[in-house]
């Protein structure tokens, strides 16, 4: 038996490992299983080259839990280690065997480990670690033991076949890792797609045999295989069918609705990257969809926080990105920004834009049918990523309340003849609630205006973005002061009231309504079929208040002003109000029409609403 000291730069390496080196204690299992995968990949490489002519056997990594003896064991039948290799690789921290092997077989081997410190993560949860290893070369098995300080022992071990067992003696403050459910959850999280079969004991399965009255359920124990070693993203796209992509999505997200479509990423220059990105059904939601892209490095799970790799808007997608070229820190938990990451970001953004553009050009009808789900994504991308915005202008759509779709260019062409103001800006009219704004929509349509449906959670930001980027457009909500600068259509009549009569009507409303908190009364010759009184809100002020609300600010900072539009061509104004004798009745009637308009805008509440209902009952009587 030999004794010695681990070659480290400081006596305090183990406390550093336990407290600072790794961001999360649970990743010890990922690191140790990754090492076992490396060892297995090495023996496969040697066998393929003819450097190892023996029988490979079942290349399975076994995870064994012994709660009674407080041990967790990771066993592989990989390359194994000789005594000299144990001395070299386990006793010199940060001298990675994976690096050595990779240099020698760089064109043939797929090696996960690049750090050399992964093995020492075991000491985050173990008070003692034993390594029993037998090399594929003709040599005796060896046993290395260390109890969490720089001292170790090396002696003859007992192991029949080639490979390595790592036995962790779990310490008292980490007993959670002796629970089967806890280990199962970690294996599901980190090892789901490792390229070597991972087995964690057995599990019970039930089968039905026989028919009718003779039918019975058979219970049997089968191997508990954790992973799918050949996930869809590692296969060639031309070998996959639509059902394969959908089945893989279900494997990733068992309880999600099927995806709309997907992009298969496959590039080997100037960096290596594979993966599948799915477009989920977003509808009107953003936050609930984030952190669904999983990052892997050679099929080893790294993180689902990929904001350093993909632009913010792409985090709305689901799926997998796998790249050995993404730089990770020593714990593989954080991404480090460099030129490769920027190239990968640009590549993914470009591929996503190309996919959407191809779908739009290939089958516009199908693309339009999906717009309610992908519109949020496209708008978010245009808001947050300049290059995506430039590409998306071709396939971003606007939908009007009649269900017709237009590109940005098509819509501007559609409305320019009727909806261009005196400043030569195209006025885009929209509704964010078709039911509530029905009367205003009908009024706008009667003037020949088209109305868009803009009810998405980010539409407020999106319209401002378009105003800035397009330059010659302005957005106004259908219940705003939209027609002030628009040329009225010929069919709209002049007012049936004289200027003097209009002044009198305005005086009645001014006296009745009092302070409008910054708003004002307007006399307009609208259609007799429009409402007698309409409420409009200044577009700028309304937008400011909505922005305040979205940001959680005090909405009382801005006055809740509104304008009152009197339709001088409506019979209730032109015939009834002007002919009333009593000034008191006139003001009461004007007040009632005003409150009708407020009710139409959901602006009548509480005591005012109750009073209005009572008065309406009186009128009816």
- CATH assignment of the domain containing 565: 1.20.120.790
Among 543, 555, 526, which residue's Cα sits nearest to residue 474?
543
Domain boundaries, position 471: 396-492
Same domain, 447 and 487: yes
SS3 239: helix
Same domain, 134 and 111: yes
With contact defined as beta carbons under 8 Å apart, do 454 and 371 qualify? Answer: no
- Stretch 519-534: mean pLDDT, rounded? 84
Same domain, 344 and 488: no
514 belongs to a structural domain: yes
- Stretch 287-297: mean pLDDT, rounded? 74
Six-digit token string for 336: 């480090």
Q: What is the DSSP letter of 487?
A: P
Residue-level pLDDT at 338: 63
Same domain, 327 and 410: no
3-state secondary structure 266-334: EECCCCCEEEEEEECCCCCCCHHHCCCEEEEECCEEEECCCCCCCCHHHHHCEEEEECCCCCECCCCCC
CA pair distance 509, 515, nearest whole angstrom: 11
Q: Does 45 have pLDDT greater than 60?
A: yes
Same domain, 17 and 104: yes
Is pLDDT larger for residue 118 or for residue 392?
Answer: 392
CA pair distance 447, 449, nearest whole angstrom: 6
With contact defined as beta carbons under 8 Å apart, do 63 and 72 qualify? Answer: yes
Residue-level pLDDT at 365: 96
- Stretch 402-414: mean pLDDT, rounded? 96
Q: What is the DSSP letter of 19?
A: I
Q: Does 97 have pLDDT greater than 60?
A: no
Q: Does 564 have pLDDT greater than 70?
A: yes
Q: Does 330 have pLDDT greater than 90?
A: no
Residue-level pLDDT at 255: 84
The pLDDT tens digits of the residues spanning 425-464 come to: 899 999 989 988 888 898 888 888 999 999 887 888 899 9
Among 198, 278, 169, which residue's Cα sits nearest to residue 189?
198
For residue 182, give every residue at least 6 positions away whose Cβ sits within 8 Å of its Cβ, in sequence order, or none: 176
219 belongs to a structural domain: no
Percent pLDDT > 70 in the chain is 84
Residue-level pLDDT at 256: 85
Please report which confidence band the pLDDT of residue 491 belongs to, taking 50, 70 and 90 as the band edges.
Answer: very low
Residue-level pLDDT at 9: 46
Is pLDDT larger for residue 166 or for residue 615?
Answer: 166
320 belongs to a structural domain: yes
Sign of CA dihedral 473, 479, 483, 484: negative
SS3 188: helix
Same domain, 341 and 466: no
With contact defined as beta carbons under 8 Å apart, do 620 and 559 qualify? Answer: no
Please tell me the total count of domains within the chain.
4
With contact defined as beta carbons under 8 Å apart, do 428 and 464 qualify? Answer: no
Residue-level pLDDT at 113: 43
Same domain, 616 and 509: yes
Is pLDDT larger for residue 403 or for residue 481?
Answer: 403
| Host H or E run for residue 66 | strand 60-66
Same domain, 469 and 506: no
Sign of CA dihedral 253, 258, 261, 266: positive
Lowest mean pLDDT among 22-36, 307-321, 339-353, 549-563: 549-563
49 belongs to a structural domain: yes
Residue-level pLDDT at 24: 73
The pLDDT tens digits of the residues spanning 540-550 come to: 777 777 666 66
Instruction: Give the phi and the psi of residue 14 in degrees, each rounded to 5.
Output: -70, -45
Q: Does 108 have pLDDT greater than 70?
A: no
Q: Does 291 have pLDDT greater than 80?
A: no
CA pair distance 404, 337, nearest whole angstrom: 43
Six-digit token string for 610: 């109750």
Residue-level pLDDT at 262: 94
Same domain, 272 and 350: yes
612 belongs to a structural domain: yes
Burial class (CB in 10 A: 0-12, 13-18, 19+), 411: buried
Same domain, 359 and 418: no
With contact defined as beta carbons under 8 Å apart, do 80 and 101 qualify? Answer: no
Residue-level pLDDT at 426: 92
Six-digit token string for 410: 């098509």
3-state helix, strand, coil in the chain (%, to 5): 40, 20, 35
Please report which confidence band the pLDDT of residue 403 belongs to, taking 50, 70 and 90 as the band edges.
Answer: very high
CA pair distance 540, 560, nearest whole angstrom: 12
Q: Which of residues 492, 507, 525 is at a domain's end?
A: 492
Same domain, 142 and 183: yes
Query: What mean pLDDT, rounded, does the chain reach?
Result: 84
């Amino acid at each position: 038996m030999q004794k010695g000291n681990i070659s480290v730069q400081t006596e305090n390496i183990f406390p550093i490992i336990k407290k600072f080196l790794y961001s999360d204690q649970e990743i010890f299992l990922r690191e140790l299983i990754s090492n076992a995968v490396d060892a297995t990949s090495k023996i496969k490489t040697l066998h393929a080259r003819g450097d190892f002519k023996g029988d490979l056997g079942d290349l399975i990594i076994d995870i064994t839990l012994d709660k009674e003896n407080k041990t967790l064991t990771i066993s592989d039948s990989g390359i194994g280690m000789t005594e000299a290799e144990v001395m070299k690789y386990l006793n010199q921290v940060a001298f990675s065997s994976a690096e050595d092997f990779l240099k020698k077989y760089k064109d043939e081997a797929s090696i996960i480990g690049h750090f050399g410190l992964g093995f020492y993560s075991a000491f985050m949860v173990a008070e003692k670690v034993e390594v029993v290893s037998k090399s594929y070369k003709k040599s005796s098995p060896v046993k290395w033991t260390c109890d969490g300080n720089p001292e170790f022992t090396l002696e003859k071990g007992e192991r029949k076949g080639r490979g390595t067992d790592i036995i962790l003696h779990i310490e008292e403050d980490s007993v959670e890792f002796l629970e089967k459910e806890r280990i199962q959850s970690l294996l599901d999280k980190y090892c789901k797609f490792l390229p070597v079969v991972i087995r964690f004991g057995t599990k019970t399965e039930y089968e039905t045999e026989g028919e009718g009255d003779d039918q019975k359920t058979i219970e049997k124990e089968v191997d508990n295989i954790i992973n799918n070693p050949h996930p869809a993203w590692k296969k060639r796209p031309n070998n996959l069918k639509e059902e394969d992509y959908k089945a893989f999505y279900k494997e990733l997200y068992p309880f999600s609705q099927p995806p709309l479509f997907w992009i298969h990423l496959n590039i080997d220059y100037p960096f290596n990257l594979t993966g599948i990105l799915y477009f989920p059904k977003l509808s009107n939601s953003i936050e609930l969809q984030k952190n669904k892209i999983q990052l892997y490095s050679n099929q080893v799970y790294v993180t689902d926080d990929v904001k350093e790799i993909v632009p913010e808007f792409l985090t709305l997608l689901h799926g997998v990105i796998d790249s050995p070229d993404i730089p990770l820190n020593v714990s593989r938990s954080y991404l480090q920004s460099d030129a490769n990451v920027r190239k990968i970001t640009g590549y993914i953004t470009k591929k996503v834009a190309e996919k959407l553009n191809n779908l739009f050009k290939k089958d516009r009808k199908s693309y339009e049918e999906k717009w309610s789900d992908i519109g949020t994504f496209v708008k978010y991308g245009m808001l947050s990523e300049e290059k995506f915005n430039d590409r998306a202008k071709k396939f971003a759509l606007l939908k009007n309340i009649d269900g017709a779709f237009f590109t940005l260019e098509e819509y501007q062409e559609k409305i320019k003849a009727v909806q261009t103001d005196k400043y030569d800006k195209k006025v885009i009219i929209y509704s964010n609630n078709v039911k509530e704004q029905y009367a205003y929509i009908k009024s706008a349509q009667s003037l020949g205006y088209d109305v868009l449906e803009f009810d998405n959670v980010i539409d407020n930001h999106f319209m401002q973005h378009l105003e800035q980027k397009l330059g010659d457009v302005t957005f106004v909500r259908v219940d705003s002061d939209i027609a002030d600068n628009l040329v009225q259509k010929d069919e709209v009549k002049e007012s049936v009231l004289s200027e003097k009569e209009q002044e009198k009507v305005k005086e009645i409303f001014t006296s009745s309504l009092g302070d409008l908190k910054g708003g004002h009364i307007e006399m307009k010759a609208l259609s007799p079929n429009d409402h007698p009184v309409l409420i409009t809100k200044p577009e700028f002020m309304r937008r400011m208040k909505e922005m305040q609300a979205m940001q959680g600010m005090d909405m009382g900072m801005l006055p809740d002003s509104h304008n009152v539009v009197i339709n001088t061509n409506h019979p209730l104004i032109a015939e009834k109000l002007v002919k009333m004798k009593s000034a008191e009745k006139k003001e009461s009637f004007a007040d009632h029409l005003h409150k009708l308009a407020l009710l139409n805008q959901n602006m009548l509440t509480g005591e005012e609403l109750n009073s209005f209902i009572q008065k309406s009952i009186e009128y009816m009587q």
